[in-house]
Amino acid sequence: MSAIYNFCAGPAMLPQAVMQKAQQELIDWNGLGVSVMEISHRSKEFIAMTQQAEVTLRKLMHIPDNYHVLFMHGGGRAQFSNVVNNFLGDNGQALYLVSGQWSSAAVTEAKKLVSESQIDTINIVEQVDGLNQVILPDLTAIDKDYRYVHYCSNETVDGIEIFEELDSPWPIVADLSSTIMSHHIDVSKYGLIYAGAQKNIGPSGLSIVIVRDDMLTLPSLPQSSIMDYRVAVEHGSMFNTPPTFAWYLASEVFAWLEANGGVSTMADVNQQKAALLYECIDSNPFYKNGVAPHNRSRMNVTFQLVDNSLDVEFLKQAEQAGLVALKGHRIVGGMRASIYNAMPLEGVQALVDFMNNFAIKHS
C-alpha cells in the first residue's frame, strides 16, 4: 500500500516508529508477558515508565523545578473548568483573551461555573486589510487584580497562532493543546500550561498540565477530587486509576522526540512544512488563506478553494491520492491541513504537489 498522509486535526497521526513499537509491545510489555494496559498502575514497572516520561518531558520543554507535571483525565476541555475551579474560589476574577473557537469555548465553560462578572474578555482578533490579525492588548495598562489571564496560543479551528510572548502582570494560563512542543517556549513565563494529548503527545482523553507551585495556593471551589490539581500533585497523578495506555504512549512519543533532535529540530521542520504549504496557497490564485502572515498557524493550515463548488471534488481526489482528513472544521468550512510534529516533510510535499496539479486540471 502506498503512503497515507493523515492531516486530521485530532486525534492526529502519531509517529510511525512509535506506533510500530507499541504494536510490538502490545501483548508483551517490558518482558512481563502482558500488555501495559493489563498491569497495576502502582507496579514498579509502570511507575518507572511514568517517572521516565516526566524526566523526558521536563528535558524537552526545559521545565523548571518549581513546576509540577500532571497527567490528568479529560483532554483539553477538562482544563477549561479545572482552571476555574482551582483558581477562582473566592470570587476572584480572570481575564480571557479570545482569538477563535477554542478560547471562546473556554470562556463559555468558565461562565457556567462562576458568575459572569468574574470573567472579563477581550477579543484580540481584528480584520486588517481583509485578513484576521491578532492585536495583543497592553495588559500592563489594565488596572485590575486578575487571578490569571487565559489564552490559547494556537486556534486549531481558525488556523491562527500567536507567536509573541504575552507580557502580563498576572499569571498566564495557556491552552497549548495544538502547539505544545512544536517550538520552544519559556515555561517560566507561565502560571499554568495545559494540553489535550491528541495532537503532539498521544491518544485523546489524556491532558498534560504543567503548573507553577505557587498557583496551588490560590483559593479553589469545591470540586471533584480527580480534577483538583492539589490532589493530583499529592498523588503523583494517580488519585484514581490513570489512563495507563495513553500515558505509556505519551512516554514513547517523548522518547521519540528526544531521539529525533527534540523541540528545536521539530521547530525547524515545522517551519519548513508550514512555509512550503503557505507558499503553495499564496502563489496559486486557485487557493486563499484569510490569516495575517505573522499569525498563520504552523500546526493547522486552513485554506479555501476560491471556487468552493470544487470542494467535494478536491477532497475526493485528495483521498484517492492518500491525503486524508483535509476537510475544514464544520464551523468554518474550507480545508485544513494539520501538520503536527509527526507529519513528515514528505507528507506536506505530497499535498503541495497534489494541490498544484489539482489547480492546473481545474483552472
What gap in Å lies between CA 338 and CA 353, rounded to an integer?
17
- In this complex, which beta carbon is closest to ligand PMP, that of residue 77 or of residue 189? 77
Residue 199 annotated to the active site? yes
Question: In whole angstroms, how close is the CB of 205 to ligand PMP at the nearest point?
Answer: 7
Cα dihedral value 40, 45, 47, 51, nearest 10: -150
Of 290, 230, 223, give the one whose Cα is nearest residue 89. 223
- Set of cell numbers at residue 219: 483559593
| Residue that has been written with the C-alpha cell 499529592 in this structure | 234
Of these residues, 29, 158, 170, 199, which one is catalytic?
199
- In this complex, which beta carbon is closest to ligand PMP, that of residue 185 or of residue 305? 185
What gap in Å lies between CA 160 and CA 142, rounded to an integer?
25
Which amino acid, one-letter code, is at 81?
S
Residue 102 annotated to the active site? yes
- In this complex, which beta carbon is closest to ligand PMP, that of residue 55 or of residue 105? 105
Buried-exposed string 307-345: b where 16+ CB fall within 10 A, e elsewhere: eeeebeebbebbeebebebbbbbeebebbbbbbbbbbbe
Among 71, 87, 102, 287, binds ligand PMP (CB under 6 A): 102
Instruction: Work out whether 295 is an interface residue with ligand PMP (CB under 6 A).
Output: no
Instruction: Work out whether 177 is an interface residue with ligand PMP (CB under 6 A).
Output: yes
Site residues for ligand PMP, 9-28, by CB under 6 A, read 10
Site residues for ligand PMP, 54-83, by CB under 6 A, read 75-77
Question: In whole angstroms, how close is the CB of 146 to ligand PMP at the nearest point?
Answer: 21
What is the DSSP code (8-state) at residue 236? Answer: T
Of these residues, 102, 170, 247, 256, which one is catalytic?
102
Among 15, 171, 191, 196, binds ligand PMP (CB under 6 A): 196
- Set of cell numbers at residue 72: 490528568
| Residue that has been written with the C-alpha cell 498566564 in this structure | 172
Binding site for ligand PMP (CB under 6 A): 10, 75-77, 102, 152, 156, 175, 177-178, 196, 204
Annotated binding residues, as ranges? 42, 76-77, 102, 156, 175, 198, 240-241
**Residue numbers belonging to the annotated binding site for L-glutamate:** 42
List residues with catalytic annotation. Answer: 102, 175, 199
